[in-house]
Structure 1
Amino acid sequence: MDINKMKTTSFERVGLQEWKAKAEESLKGRPIDQLYKETYEGITLKPLYTKEDIDKKQSTERHSSKRDWKVAQRVTAEDEDSLPERLSTALTRGQDTVSFTDYNGSLSKNVMEKIFTLAIKEKAPLFHIASLDSEGFSLLKEGYSRLTGVFGADPVTDMVVKDSSETMNTWIEHITYLNESAPELRTIVVDTSSLNEAGANAIQEMAYALAAGVAVIEKLKKEGWTAEQAAGKLIFNFSIGSSFFTEISKLRAFRTLWKNVAEAYELNDTEAVLSAETSVFTKSKLDPYVNMLRAGNETFSAVLGGADYIHTAPFDEVSGTTSPFSERIARNTQLILSHESHLNKVSDPAGGSYYIESLTNTLAEQAWKKFQELDGNGGLIKVLRGGTLQNDIKLVFDRRQKDVAIRKQNLIGTNVFSNLEESPAGNLSSEQKQPPHGIKRQRLSADFENLRERALSLKDKPLAGLILLGKIKQHKARADFVSGFLAAGGIGVLPSRECLTVEDAAAFTEELKADYFVICGRDEDYEAMAKEILASIKREGRQIDLAGRLSKDAMEELQEAGLDSSIYLGQNMTEKLDALLRGWEGTSNEK
C-alpha cells in the first residue's frame, strides 16, 4: 500500500458485538465474564466502555479556573525552632504553600508567629490541619488578616464524643472572629483520611464527607452562622489510595455531590475545595523505595481528580522519620506532573473518558444513596456513636486484608517479590495514633511486617530446605513460588541439587540438618517418589511440606506417609507463615 492510499484509507466502524466476538476468540473458550472485575465498592467494571455508558448522564468537569493545584508538602522538623527556616527553604525549591505538621500540637507561639509572618511575606497560602485546641487559632486573631489558604480543624471527632465542650466552644469563638478578620482563610476541615486508612471504600469516604459537611454546617447554624458562611470555610481532605481510576473518579464525583448539597442550602458558591494526600494505608515499611512508585501513582490520581492542595508523602514517612532525600523526591513528584507533564495547563484531564465518566457517575449515585442512608439514620454523629459505619468499614477492610493474604492483591516487596537482603528501617510493628470514634487506622502491609519482625528476632535465621525433584525445568516453577512465598515471612531457602532418586533427597536432608523441608516438583514426580522420600527423611521434630496441591485422596495418602502440609497458590499466606514461625519460635525458646 502506497502512502497516498494509506492516507485515504478508513477503518470500518466496529460495534460492541463484534468486539465481544473477537474477545471470546482471544480467550480461547474461556468465558468473557473473566474480563469483568468487582471493586470493593461493589461496582462491576467492564472490559470496554462506550458512549452508551455515559449517555444521558451528567459529565463532571473541573472548573477552568481551578486547573492548577498547590504543592502542599507538609514540612516537619525535629527541632521546632528550625521549622520556619525549613519552610522558607521549601518555598525556594518548588513548594508554593506554607504547609507543615505539628504532630503533638506543641508548637510554641513564637514559632507559629514566624510561620504566619513567612506566609504573608512570601504571599504564599497557608495549609495546616490543626487540633481544635491549637493555640494557632487564638494567635491568628492578633493581626494576620492577610493570610490565605487553610488553618483549620476537624470538629467531627469532638462532636461524636460530646455535643458541646469547652474546647469546641472556644474553637467556635475563634473561628467566628476569624470569619471577619481573616476572610480568605478556611478554618474548618472535614478530614476523611482516617476512613481511608481504616480500609473504607470510596463510597463510604464520600458519604462520610457529605454527612460531616452537613453536620458541621448544622452545628454552626445553631451558633448563629449562616450556611453560606459555614460552607465558605470548609475544606475536604481525602487520602488517595492505589486504585488509580477509582481515586480519580472519587474526587470528581464528590465535587458533583457537594454541588447538590450546596444547592439544597441555596448557596451562591457551590464549589468544593479539596485537599488530597497520598494514603498511609497502602504504604509498607518493607522495601520502602516501592512507596515512591505508589505515591507517584496516587499523586497522579489526585491531580487528575482535581485536588486543590496535594501532599505527597515521602517514601520513608511510614517508618517514623524522613530524610532530605525522601522529602525532595516527594516534592519533585508533583513538580514533574506540573512542569514536565503540564497537567496544570489542562482543565479536566480525565474528562471525556467513557470509563472514567461512567465510574464517576456510578460512584456519585452510590455515594448519594449512602449519604441519604446516614441522614435517614439520624445523621453522621448518631451513626458514629452507634458504631454501624465503623462495622461496615471493617467488613471492607477484612476483604482487603484477605485479598492481600491470598495474593489476590499484590503488595510489591511485601507479599510478593520480597527482598530478604534489606535491613528494614524503624520499628516494623509500631502503632498509629487512633481517633476516638472507633475508626481504626491500619495498613495493609502490617501483618507481613509483623511476620518479618518475628523472623528477624529469632536467634537463628529461619531456613527451609527445598528438595528439588528432577531436572531444573521440572521443579523450577514451584521452587520459585515457594521461595517467594516464604520470603514474605522472612524465611530463607536452601535449594538442593537435582534430586533424581530418593537417595539424593535423603542425602540432602542429612547434609542440611534442618527442621523444615519443602518438596518441589511435578505432580507425576510426587506420585512416583514422594512416599519413599517421606519414609526416608521423616524424623521427629522435622516438618515436611509439599509445593502445590494434589487431589484430596492423593494428599491424604501422602499425609499418612508423613507429609505435614503444603504450600499452594491461593493459600492464606499470613496463616501459613505464622504457623511456620511459631515452630521456630518454640524451638528457639527451648534452646
Structure 2
Amino acid sequence: MNTQNNTLFSNFAPITKEQWLEKVNIDLKGADFDKRLVWRNLNDITLPPLYTPEDAITQLSNTGENAAAFVNYRHIKVNSATEANTQALKAIAEGITGLIFEVTTEASVVQLLKDIDLNTISVSFQLEDELLEFATNFFAYANNHLIAPENLKGFIDLNLITEYVTTGNLPQSKLNDLNRLVELGSAFPNYKTLSISGTAFLDSGSNQVQEVAFTLNALVYVIENCLKNEGNLETLFNNLHFQLGISSEYFVEIGKFRAFNSLLAAIAKTYGVTEYKHSLTAKTSVWSKSVTDPHTNLLRATTEAMSALLGNVDAVVIDPFDKEFKETSAFSNRIAGNISTILREESYFGKVANPVDGSYYIEDVTSKIAEKALALFKEVETRGGFYDAFESDYIQQQIAEIRQRKLTLLSQRRLAMVGVNKYPNLMESIPSNILSEGSSQSSKLLTPRRATQEIEALRRTTEELVETSKKRPIVELSSFGNLTMRKARAAFSYDFLGVSGFEVWQEKSYNSAQEAAESSATSNSDVVVICSSDQDYETDALDFVSTFRALNKDKILLLAGNPVALIDALKEAGLDDCIHIKSDVIQTISGIQQKLNGLVAH
C-alpha cells in the first residue's frame, strides 16, 4: 500500500457548513437562497441542496431490507386457463419470476398452473367471483406440488380498496370472506392473502404522502373489519400484502417505500404486534406514462423500478411501454420483463444490502415523508377513518388539489415530461383515435389516468384538423438580429409549438426584420414566430408586424419573448400573441388551433 500521500488531507482544515453557505451566497450574487436552491416538492416538504456532518438527520427504524431475490412479476389476464398457461410458461422462459393471474371467469387451477414450478415461481391472483372456491382449489393443488410449504410465494388480491375508490362499490361479501381466505393460506407462511393496493391514489394524481397515508388508513379499516369477524390479529398482520405505485420522482420514491415500511411497523405496534412479515410490491404508474413518444416509457419504467428496489420492495410489476394505447405485444412484454432482469443481473440490485441506508439526503426525504404521512393518516382517522373520509369526499378533495397543481405545472412546462411537453418527437405519426379527448373527473370517485391527457387532447385536435383539411399546419421560425438570442428563442419556439403536432420548420435567418417579414408573410406556412432579442424588438418588431400584416391578414403571427412595454402596440399592429417561458402551453396552442380551425372553415 502506498502511504506517501496519507497525510494529504491533514494539510487542509475541515470546511464547515457555514463556509459552504457563505460561498454559495457569493455565487448567487444576491439571489434568494431558498427560492433558487431549496426544493419544495408537491408533498410540501423542503429539501436543502447540501448536507454536511453538522446536519442532524433523523434515521427511521424498520424501513425494510433489500430483497435478496426480488420478484419480477408479469400480469396475465385469464380468459382461458389453457391460453393463460401458455402465456405464463412463455414468460417464465423469458426470465419472469412471478405471475399475476387476473381471474375474471371460471378457470381450472390444474390447467392454469400446469408445468409451473411453485417452488421457484411466485404465483399470485386477482380474484373476482367464486373466490373461496378458486382459493381452496389453489391451496390444495399447491400442497401437492411443493417441496416445503414455505416455498409457496405470492399473494391473493380481491381488489377491495381499488374497486371501492374507483367505482364506489365495496362488497360486504368480500369483506366477510377475508378471514376465511386468511385461514386457507395460513399453512403457507410466505404466501399473503390479505392484499391492499394504493396504486389508485397515485394514478389519480396524489402525491407520495397521500398514497402512503391513505393506504395505511385503508389497512386500519380492513383490519378492524376482520377483527369484528373474529380474525386473529397476528395472523392478519403476517398475511399482509401491499401494492403501491411508483412515480417518476426518483429519490422521493425511494424515501416513500422506506417511510411506508416504517409507518406500518408503528401501526402494528399500536395493535400490540411487533413480529410480523408482510410483502410489498411496487407497480409502475399509469400517471407517468405517455402515448406520444411512447418508447420514453421504457426509460420511465426503468427509473421507477430502480427507485422501488432501492426503497426495499419485495417485487415489481413493470407494465409494457405500449399498454396505454394498444394491446400489448410479445415484444413489449419481453422488454418490460428485461428491465428488472438487467437491474438484477447486470446492475446488482438486490445483491447489496440496503445501499441507500445512511445517505443524509434519502434519510431526510424518508423521515419528512413519514412525518407528513403520519399527520395526514391521523387526520383521516379523526374524521372517522378511511370509509367515512372517502364517503365525505375528503380523500378525493385532497387528491384533486394535488392533481390540479401537477396538471398546471405540466401545462406551464415547469414539470417536464420528455416527448410530451418537452422535446416532442416531431417525426412521429399518431392516429387521432388513440389520443385522449381530455379528462373529466368525478368528485366522488378516483379515476386512474395519465397526467398527459389534456396535452394529448391538443395533439388530437391537430390530428383531427389534418384529417379534415388533408394538410398539417406549418410553423415558420423567422429570425433576425442578435445571433445568440435569435437561436435561443427559435429553439424554445421549436420545442414549445412542437407539442401541438404541427410541422415546425427549422429556423430561417434573415439579414433584416424587413426581409424576414416579407419572406414569411408570403411563404406556405400557417403560423409565423418572430425570433430575436429584446433590443432588436425595441427597434424592429413593430416594423416587422406592420410589414407582415400589409402582405398577409390571415396567418397567425407570434413573437418569442415577452417585451412588456411593446405588447399593446404590437397587438394593435396585428400580432396575435407572445410565447415565452411563463406561457401556458395548453391555453396558447388551443388558441392557435381555434384560429386555424376558423381559417379552414372559411
Per the normalisation by structure 1, the TM-score is 0.91
Map Cα deviations across residues 398-454 of structure 1 (whole Å, 9 max, x no partner).
111111111111111111111111123771217999999611222222122221121
Which one-letter code corresponds to 2:452 in the other structure? Answer: S
CA–CA distance in 2 between the matches of 1:276 and 1:431? 28
Per-residue displacement from partner, 1:528-575 (whole Å, max 9, x unpaired)? 222222222224433322110112x32112222222211111211111
SS at match of 1:8: coil
Q: 1:474 to 1:225 in 2, by over 3 A?
A: closer
Q: Hey, what's the Cα distance between the residues in 1 that align with 2:91 and 2:463?
A: 38
Alignment of 1:205 onto 2:205: no
Corresponding residue of 1:400: 406
Q: Distance in 2 between matches of 1:400 and 1:452?
A: 20
In the superposition, relative to structure 1, how do residues 344 and 377 fare at CA in structure 2: closer, same or farther (>3 Å)? same
Structure 1 residue 174 displacement after superposition: 5.3
Q: Which residue of 2 aligns with 1:90?
A: 91
1:38 to 37, 40, 44: 40
Correspondence for 2:515 among 504, 509, 512: 504
Name structure 2 gaps, 5 residues minimum.
Answer: 144-151
1:48–1:471 distance in 2 versus 1, CA, 3 Å: closer
SS at match of 1:72: strand
In structure 1, the residue matched to 2:592 is 580
More moved, 184-193 vs 420-429:
420-429
Q: CA 1:517 to 1:406, structure 2 compared with 1: closer, same or farther past 3 Å? A: same
Taking a change above 3 Å as real, the CA distance of residues 318 and 80 of structure 1, as seen in their structure-2 partners, is: farther
* Cα distance per residue 1:313-353 (max 9 Å; x no partner): 22212223222222222212111221122222222121010
Residue type at the aligned position of 2:293: D
The residue type paired with residue 345 of structure 1 is K
Moved more, 262-271 or 245-254: 262-271
RMSD between aligned residues: 2.7
Report the Cα offset of residue 465 of structure 1.
2.6
Q: Which residue is equivalent to 1:106?
A: 104
Deviations 1:159-191 (A, max 9, x none): 67467644554x447515524566653222211
Q: 1:310 aligns with which of 288, 296, 316?
A: 316
Once the two structures are TM-superposed, the CA of residue 468 in structure 1 deviates from its matched residue by 1.5
2:3 is the alignment partner of 1:8: no
Matched, 1:286 2:292: yes
Q: How does 1:43-442 map to 2 (within 5 A)?
A: 43-55=45-57, 57-63=59-65, 66-75=67-76, 81-100=82-101, 102=102, 105-110=103-108, 112-120=109-117, 123-128=120-125, 130-131=126-127, 133-142=128-137, 143-146=140-143, 147-156=152-161, 161=168, 165-166=172-173, 168-169=175-176, 171-172=177-178, 175=181, 178-180=184-186, 184-424=190-430, 427-429=434-436, 438-442=445-449
Pairwise CA distance, 1:60: 4.8
Paired with 2:484 and 2:293, the residues of 1 have a C-alpha distance of: 30
CA gap of 1:498–1:172, structure 2 versus 1, over 3 A, is closer
Whether the 8 Å contact between 1:116 and 1:144 is mirrored in structure 2 is: no
- Residues 498-530 of structure 1 deviation map (CA, whole Å, 9 limit, x = unaligned): 333454134313431544322111122222222
SS where residue 75 of structure 2 aligns? coil
Q: Is the 8 A contact 2:282 2:308 kept in 1?
A: yes
State which drifts further: 334-343 or 391-400: 334-343
Secondary structure of the residue aligned to 1:546 is strand
Segment drifting more, 374-383 vs 489-498: 489-498
Q: Report how far residue 68 of structure 1 moved.
A: 3.1
Aligned mate of 1:533, from 531, 540, 544: 544
Q: Distance in 2 between matches of 1:224 and 1:537?
A: 81
Q: Secondary structure in 2 aligned to 1:6?
A: coil
Distance 1:494 1:342, change over 3 A: closer
- Separation (CA, whole Å) in 2 of partners of 1:327 and 1:436: 35
Match of 2:479 among 468, 472, 494: 468
What is the one-letter code of the residue matched to 1:13? P
Change (3 A) 1:157 1:436: farther
Answer yes or no: is the 8 Å Cα contact 2:310–2:356 preserved in 1.
Answer: yes
Q: Which residue of 2 aligns with 1:569?
A: 581
Q: What is the correspondence of 1:443-522 to structure 2 with a 5 Å cutoff? A: 443-458=450-465, 459=469, 460-470=471-481, 472-494=483-505, 497-522=508-533
Q: What is the letter of the counterpart of residue 569 of structure 1?
A: I
Distance in 2 between the 1:519 and 1:241 partners? 38
Letter in 2 for 1:141: T
Query: Identity over the aligned pairs, expressed in percent?
Result: 28
Classify 1:85/1:163 alpha carbon distance in 2 versus 1 (closer, same or farther; 3 Å): closer
Answer with 327-336 or 248-257: which moved more: 327-336
Matched to 1:24, the amino acid is N
The 3-state SS of whatever aligns with 1:409 is coil
Distance 1:74 1:441 in 2: 18
Q: Which amino acid aligns with 1:528?
A: T
Partners of 2:281 and 2:410 in 1: CA distance: 28
Matches of 2:61 and 2:274, distance apart in 1: 21
Q: Is the 8 A contact 2:89 2:116 kept in 1?
A: no
**1:301: Cα distance to partner?**
0.4
CA deviations 1:32-75 (Å, max 9, x no partner) are 221101011100110112345445653555347x4431111224
SS at match of 1:275: strand
Number of residue pairs aligned between Structure 1 and Structure 2: 579
Q: Work out whether residues 135 and 181 of structure 2, in 8 Å CA contact, stay in contact via their aligned partners in 1.
A: no
Query: Is 2:566 aligned against 1:554?
Result: yes
Determine the C-alpha separation between the residues in 1 that align with 2:508 and 2:187.
78
- Deviations along 1:375-397, one digit per CA (max 9) or x if unpaired, are 11100000001111111111111
One-letter amino acid matched to 2:397: N
Aligned-pair CA distance for 1:471: 6.4
TM-score, normalised relative to structure 2? 0.89
CA distance in 2, matches of 1:529, 1:263: 72
Check whether the contact 1:155–1:216 (CA below 8 A) recurs between aligned residues.
no
Q: Does the CA contact (< 8 Å) of 1:248 and 1:302 recur in 2? A: yes
| C-alpha distance in structure 2 between counterparts of 1:266 and 1:95, whole Å | 38
More off after superposition, 468-477 vs 113-122: 113-122
Write the deviation string for residues 275-332 of structure 1: whole angstroms up to 9, x where unpaired: 1011111111111111111111000001000111111222212223222222222212
Aligned-partner residue type, residue 361 of structure 1: S
Decide which moves more: 318-327 or 198-207. 318-327
- Contact 1:482/1:567 (8 A) holds in 2: yes
SS in 1 for 2:504: strand
